[in-house]
Chain A
Amino acid sequence: MNDVAVIGFASSDVSVTTSGVETLVPVFEAALAQAGLERRDVDFWCSGSSDYLAGRAFSFVNAVDAIGAVPPIAESHVEMDAAWALYEAYIKILAGEASTALVYGFGKGTAGELARVLALQLDPYTVAPLWPDAISVGALQARLGIDAGLFSERDMAAVAAARDDASSVETLLDRPYVAMPLREHDVARVADGASAVVLAAADRVGGRRAAWISGIGHRVDPQGFGERDLTAVPSATAAAADAGGLDGVQVTALHAPFTHQELLLRRALGLPDEVRNVAFGSNPMFSAGLSRIGAAAEEVMSGRASAAAAHATAGPLLQQNLVCVLRSES
């Protein structure tokens, strides 16, 4: 089996149009420069994005214009966060069908009313017709967690305060609710963004800086809000086990659209308090998970950690989860 490593990462927090092209061109350039590869050295391209974020069908088609796919390229796309596109590319390399890959995700979250758009992810026959917005749905989960004694509003505020040094828990708790028990700081800021990660098989890594993927796992839970305990995240727990476990992990990059979800994830992943978490201020849909993998890889490539774990989530209430473990040694 081929060993696979992350050798380049770049991201952007701007988005000009829903096609992603203007944002992606410089992101590709930066990621490839860090990887020390040319565009033509990439064997396989894979992306993640959503038509519903762009508000149009086939929205990923125009993004191909950012690649310069003449002559034609080997390419694929998932209608998911690009963390799952990275998994597809990782599989291609493991299968021996490619030696290098560039994975990208993009989305213009501010193009519409995200919380309302996400209602359309719910069961179209029984739930979506009620138009439950994503923040209200998130509040149901937070309430269940609080009532079960798993955490408090203060604990949630502490998560927010940890990513923003300017805020104290006390001042955050003085602010009004947006959907009780959630306050503004409990909800990740809607953002635009794009990111790209470059992967290489062991024989193409050479002397480059590399964060070796020791395992990736991903699972999905049933969506129905009554079909599972919403205060547990069994798919995240199983994904971490599939990824070979988190032994030795010193830092994590978690994708939690709500503060209470970061607390639920830490429990589901069994993370001790001393494990550091890379802070993210926003949730640029469809590149956020891939950016977590890129950030965890940066921790390893820079030498700040010898092992890091990245997490991505999709769907309502942490329905689908991916865990990627990166290490300094192959």
Chain B
Amino acid sequence: MRRAAVLGTGQTHHRTRRTDVSMAGLCREAIDRALADAGVGWEQIDAVVLGKAPDLFEGVMMPELFLASALGAAGKPLLRVHTAGSVGGATANVATSLVRAGAHRRVLAVAFEKQSESNAMWALSIQPPFSAPITAGAGGYFAPHIRSYIKKTGAPGHVGALVAVKDRRNGALNPYAHLRQPEITLESVQASTMLWDPVRYDETCPSSDGACAVIIGDQQAAEASERQVAWIRATSMRTEPTFYAGKDHVNPRAGATAAAALWAAAGIKDPLDEVDVAELYVPFSWFEPMWLENVGFVGQGQGWKLVESGETALGGALPINPSGGVLCSNPIGASGLLRFAEAAMQVMGRAGEHQVAGASTALGHAYGGGSQFFSMWVVGRNP
């Protein structure tokens, strides 16, 4: 199979409302940084893949069409991916396939969400005919799955708050993060308002405006790069229905299957030992221990123990979400690509104050829908 590598990444400053930029300006802020980071010019981009979550979040049908010129896509091939919350990851994976197929030398993958343009809660609450109602807000949907995890594993109640403290403090090291809270403590998280038992206000992702861009190149482009690249060792995507008899919302089969395929393709036999850092899609704190188990870093019921031991903090055996993760910045359509980009930044040694020392193998992970769409990649300092 042909090799592909991340040549550079870029992202916006993520905020509740980026009223200083249009959608085009938001995307360009991320793209311009990615091009500069990769040392690549517009003329070297052969194709553009744009990902974002539902169009109702901005109130524009297929916004990539009016954004074509701003994305530098005019006159070029442009694809628009939408795989729910996993879309940022899927965007990177589709761009990787374009390079691996030999279709293009350099592809720009860009994902954005400008949630302040519209009202995400409204967009998610339309009642389609003949369908079961969707609980307004993702927290209400996922909280029962978290309660089930706690019941199944006997995890102590403070584990979620531990994740929140770690991620928000990590976010304070990331100049682009929406929420930067260096002073946050276990006590302050536990004193915050309960939203959906057991998820408290400080254990919940924000709603952000933001974008992320990644330049992916083929072997020749990677070797021509003057800077360290992140070699894409494997990609993986899996889907299952929202509901079916036997669906396990705590440990979804699609996530486990995607991870197993990913590790096999990357030649990784012991993920906990061989992966140096992981960016997991954790919109509510408790999803860190749940995903640690689902992707196979630890066995069933062991995820919360790894969190409690402190090994998922910076300096631990497996730092999770050194960027601060979804808990610190959540422009939904871009959130997956931010995970993938941070994994690349870590192995390229360009993660600044949230750099994991010596990181050479990293996981980027995203999920969406009712824990049913999964996209992942493994990137490495070496091919």
B67 CB to nearest chain A CB (Å): 8
Q: Which of A45, A96, A117, A123 has the most CB of B within 10 A?
A: A123
Contact A74:B62 (CB < 8 A) given known A91-B98, A218-B77: no
Q: Taking chain A's interface residues, is the majority helix, strand, or loop, or is none over half, making it mixed?
A: mixed
Interface pair B257/A76, CB less than 8 Å apart: no
A120 touches B60 (CB 8 A): yes
- CB of B137 closer than 8 Å to a CB of A: no
Q: From DSSP, what is the main secondary structure of chain B's interface residues?
A: loop
Contact A124 B58 (CB under 8 A): yes
Given known contacts A19-B131, A96-B1, A320-B78, is B242 in contact with A314 (CB within 8 Å)?
no
| Size of A's binding interface in residues, CB under 8 A | 68
B101 touches A72 (CB 8 A): no
Q: Report if A69 contacts B (CB, 8 A).
A: yes
User: Is B76 part of the binding interface, using a Cβ–Cβ cutoff of 8 Å?
Assistant: yes
The contact sample of 29 A-B pairs, CB cut-off 8 A, is: A51-B82, A58-B54, A70-B244, A71-B257, A72-B238, A73-B240, A76-B83, A76-B237, A78-B80, A78-B81, A78-B82, A79-B80, A80-B79, A84-B80, A91-B103, A92-B97, A95-B97, A121-B62, A124-B60, A217-B77, A218-B78, A220-B74, A220-B76, A220-B77, A220-B78, A223-B65, A224-B69, A227-B69, A235-B75
Neighbouring B residues of A242 by C-beta, 8 Å? 77
Q: State how many angstroms separate the Cβ of B354 from the closest Cβ of chain A.
A: 30
Range of interface residues on chain B? 35 or more
Apart from the given pairs A17-B129, A72-B257, A97-B97, 10 other A-B contacts in the complex at a CB distance below 8 Å? A1-B101, A19-B128, A64-B241, A70-B240, A80-B62, A88-B79, A91-B98, A124-B66, A220-B65, A221-B75
Contact, CB under 8 Å: A95 / B1:
yes
- Is B308 interfacial (CB 8 A cutoff)? no
User: Roughly how many angstroms separate A65 CA and B132 CA in the complex, as a whole number?
Assistant: 14
Which residues of A92-134 have CB atoms within 8 Å of chain B's CB atoms? 92, 94-97, 117-118, 120-125, 127-128
Tell me, in angstroms, the Cα distance from A75 to B253 when the chains sit together. Answer: 14
Residues of chain B within 8 A of A95, CB atoms compared? 1-2, 97, 100-102
Question: CB distance A315 to B62 under 8 Å?
Answer: yes
Whether A61 is near chain B, meaning CB under 8 Å from some CB there, is yes
**Measured between C-beta atoms, what is the minimum distance from A211 to chain B in Å?**
20
B124 within 8 A of A: yes
Q: Which of A51, A75, A80, A320 contacts B238 (CB 8 A)?
A: A75
Q: Is A18 engaged at the interface, CB distance under 8 Å to the other chain?
A: yes
Q: Do B55 and A123 touch across chains, with their CB atoms under 8 A apart? A: no
- Inter-chain CA distance A317–B298, complex, in Å, is 53
Tell me how far the C-beta of B264 lies from the nearest C-beta in chain A, rounded to whole angstroms.
Answer: 13
Q: What residues on B are CB-neighbors of A316 within 8 Å? A: 65
Question: Is B239 in the interface zone, CB < 8 Å from A?
Answer: yes
Bound: A118/B61 CA distance, A: 7
Question: What residue of chain A has the Cβ atom nearest to residue B87's Cβ?
Answer: A77
User: A72: which of B59, B76, B258, B369 is its contact (CB, 8 Å)?
Assistant: B258
Choose from B94, B123, B254 the contact partner of A57 (Cβ within 8 Å): B123
Closest to B57 in A: A57
| B56 within 8 A of partner (CB) | yes
Query: B80 to A80, Cβ gap below 8 A?
Result: yes
Q: How distant is the Cα of A21 from the Cα of B57 in the complex, in angstroms?
A: 24
The verdict on B192 contacting chain A, using a C-beta distance below 8 Å, is no
> Interface residues, chain B, CB within 8 Å of chain A?
1-2, 22-23, 53-63, 65-66, 68-69, 73-84, 90, 94, 97-98, 100-103, 117, 123-124, 126, 128-131, 237-242, 244, 246, 253-254, 257-258, 369-370, 372-373
Instruction: Say how far B265's CB is from chain A's closest CB, in angstroms.
Output: 9
Residues from chain B with a CB closer than 8 A to the CB of A122 are 66
- Contact partner of A54 (CB less than 8 A), chosen from B90, B128, B241, B258, is B128
Q: Are A124 and B65 in contact (CB under 8 A)?
A: no
Let me know if B79 and A84 touch, CB within 8 A. yes
In the bound assembly, the distance between CA atoms of A79 and B58 in angstroms comes to 14
Closest 10 CB pairs of A and B: A57-B54, A75-B239, A94-B101, A72-B254, A52-B61, A95-B101, A95-B100, A79-B82, A120-B61, A72-B240
* In the complex with contacts A222-B68, A222-B69, A77-B59 CB distance below 8 A: no
Which residues of the other chain, A, contact B97 by a CB distance below 8 angstroms? 88, 91-92, 95, 97
Bound-complex Cα distance A317 to B263 (A): 45
Partner of A76, one of B74, B90, B130: B90
Query: Measured between alpha carbons, how far is A242 from B76 in the docked complex, in Å?
Result: 11
Known A-B contacts A1-B102, A94-B103; the reply to A121 vs B66 at CB < 8 A is: yes
Contacts A56-B126, A79-B82 given: A61-B369 contact, CB under 8 Å? Answer: yes
Q: How far is the CA of A18 from the CA of B128 in the complex (A)?
A: 8
**B94-A319 in contact (CB<8A):** no
Q: Which residue of A lies closest to B123 (CB)?
A: A57
Q: What's the Cα separation between A35 and B69 when bound, in Å?
A: 40
Bound Cα distance from A236 to B323, whole angstroms: 42
B233 to chain A, nearest CB (A): 14
Q: Which of B63, B74, B90 contacts A222 (CB 8 A)?
A: B74
Q: Among the interface residues B1, B58, B126, which one has the most CB atoms of the partner chain A within 10 A?
A: B126
A219 close to B (CB within 8 Å): yes
Asked if A55 is at the interface (CB within 8 A of a chain B CB), the reply is yes
Within 8 Å by CB of B240, from A59, A62, A69, A227, lies A69
Residue of A nearest to B73 (CB): A220
Residue of A nearest to B48 (CB): A220
Contact at A314–B241, with CB atoms within 8 Å? no
CB <8 Å contact, B237 and A74? yes
The answer to the question of A28 belonging to the interface, with a C-beta cut-off of 8 Å to chain B, is: no
Interface assignment of A50: CB less than 8 Å from any CB of chain B: yes
